[in-house]
């Protein structure tokens, strides 16, 4: 496939307003998105459909809603009236979820499984990756639960599911004028244009990579003319190239295939551009992370923002956490 004219667009696929439990009005959220230099924003209030979204110069607003139930949370994107209110009210079992999800799909929605391994609000329905179009693999400022979700994502790919991923900040509000949480993390999407249709199409095709914040460390993976989300036919000469922008000193690039880590590199100094080309000899997938070791300040913020709601994680020694995380590219004979 030719990707002539395509470009990277950055946005947030998961956020809330005062229409549910967010702290900002839609207009205030739009101004926040502009401040963060976002190209697109999906409005995903809990159990309520979006009202009419305005046209905003330089920012694509995409209809959405978050189905929020004890059994799990999922975003439904791209449709104004994605399901009826009675469906929000009566969705209690896994069978109810399948019914509601299918209704949303029939109306044209894209379905995303949200933070399935979150200790505060996990996915307790049957965790079947085939039920959804996309996985929110990174939710909110990077924390321990995201690692478990990443492990589960890798397991799905080892089992043959080509599951696209996004990172969603799950933004509700900032605190004391000191934080800027809307685009932490941000998802980059390689799309034909910045229309809602092209953004969602690119996400479903897996053309995504996730970053700690707009304009920071960025991972791209290519194999010949193929990009993230594509499937490459293996030959004796197949290679894959991992490109990283703004790789910070001390941060570690980890490349994964179906058997686990297959390449690592730790930056001894901050590098504007780092690239490595590797041979590909087996079927499966390639994806990559850049991780950092949280220090004292980050650990304290983690305790305040995350562990205060998940008591068992308060004061825990954090392992290396993602600073950037790519989608996957696939290889088949």
Q: Provide DSSP, 198-241.
A: HHHHHHHTT-EEEESSTTS-EEEEEETTEETT-EEE--TT-EEE
Whether pLDDT at 89 is above 80: yes
Tell me which DSSP letter residue 133 carries: S
195-237 pLDDT per residue, tens: 999 999 999 999 999 999 999 999 999 999 999 999 999 999 9
**Does a structural domain hold residue 261?**
yes
For 199-213, b/e burial (b = at least 16 CB within 10 A) is bbbbbbbbbbbbbbb
Tell me which DSSP letter residue 56 carries: B
CA angle 99, 122, 212 (to 5 degrees): 110
Question: What pLDDT score does 315 carry?
Answer: 83
**Does a structural domain hold residue 226?**
yes
- The residue segments making up the domain with residue 34 are 7-332
318-328 pLDDT per residue, tens: 999 999 999 99
CATH of the domain at 174: 3.20.20.140
**Does a structural domain hold residue 224?**
yes
**pTM for this one?**
0.97
**Does a structural domain hold residue 52?**
yes
Total structural domains within the chain:
1
**Does a structural domain hold residue 1?**
no
Question: What pLDDT score does 308 carry?
Answer: 67
Question: What confidence category does residue 171 fall into, taking pLDDT thresholds of 50, 70 and 90?
Answer: very high
- Cis ω on the peptide bond leading into residue 228 (within 30° of 0)? no
From the CA atom positions of the chain, what is the Rg in Å? Answer: 19
**Does a structural domain hold residue 324?**
yes
Distance CA 333, CA 322 (A): 31
SS3 content of the chain, % helix, strand, coil (to 5): 20, 35, 45
**Two structure tokens written together for 152:** 């589960």
Question: What pLDDT score does 177 carry?
Answer: 82
Question: What pLDDT score does 65 carry?
Answer: 98
102-153 pLDDT per residue, tens: 999 999 999 999 999 999 899 999 999 999 999 999 999 888 999 999 999 9
Average pLDDT, the chain: 96
What value does the mean pLDDT take over residues 251-279? Answer: 98
> Is residue 82 within 8 Å of residue 61, measured between CB atoms?
no
269-288 pLDDT per residue, tens: 999 999 999 999 999 999 99
**Two structure tokens written together for 325:** 């995380």
Q: Which residues pair with 18 in a beta bridge?
A: none
Distance CA 280, CA 230 (A): 15
């Amino acid at each position: 496939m030719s990707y002539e004219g395509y470009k990277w667009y950055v946005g947030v696929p998961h956020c809330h307003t005062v229409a549910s439990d967010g702290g900002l009005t839609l207009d205030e959220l739009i101004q926040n998105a502009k401040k963060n230099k976002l190209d697109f924003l999906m409005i995903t209030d809990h159990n309520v459909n979006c009202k009419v979204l305005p046209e905003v110069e330089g920012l694509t607003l995409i209809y959405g809603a978050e189905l929020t139930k004890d059994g799990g949370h999922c975003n439904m994107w791209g449709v104004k009236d994605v399901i009826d209110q009675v469906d929000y009210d009566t969705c209690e079992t896994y069978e109810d979820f399948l019914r509601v999800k299918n209704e949303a799909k029939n109306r044209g929605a894209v379905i995303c499984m949200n933070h399935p391994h979150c200790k505060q609000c996990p996915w307790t329905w049957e965790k079947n990756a085939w039920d959804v179009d996309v996985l929110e693999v990174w939710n909110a400022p990077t924390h321990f639960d995201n690692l478990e979700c990443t492990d589960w994502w890798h397991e799905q790919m080892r089992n043959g599911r080509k599951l696209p991923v996004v990172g969603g900040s799950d933004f509700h509000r900032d605190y004391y004028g000191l934080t800027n949480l809307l685009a932490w993390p941000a998802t980059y999407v390689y799309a034909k244009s910045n229309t809602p249709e092209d953004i969602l199409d690119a996400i479903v095709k897996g053309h995504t990579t996730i970053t700690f914040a707009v304009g920071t460390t960025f991972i791209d993976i290519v194999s010949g003319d193929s990009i993230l989300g594509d499937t490459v036919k293996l030959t004796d000469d197949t290679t894959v190239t991992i490109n990283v922008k703004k790789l910070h000193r001390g941060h570690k690039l980890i490349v994964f295939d179906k058997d686990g880590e297959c390449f690592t590199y730790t930056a001894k100094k901050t590098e504007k551009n780092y690239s490595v080309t590797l041979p590909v000899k087996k079927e499966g997938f390639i994806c990559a992370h850049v991780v950092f070791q949280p220090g004292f300040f980050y650990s304290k913020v983690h305790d305040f923002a995350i562990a205060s709601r998940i008591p068992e994680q308060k004061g825990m020694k954090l392992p290396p956490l993602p600073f950037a995380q790519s989608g996957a590219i696939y290889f088949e004979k």
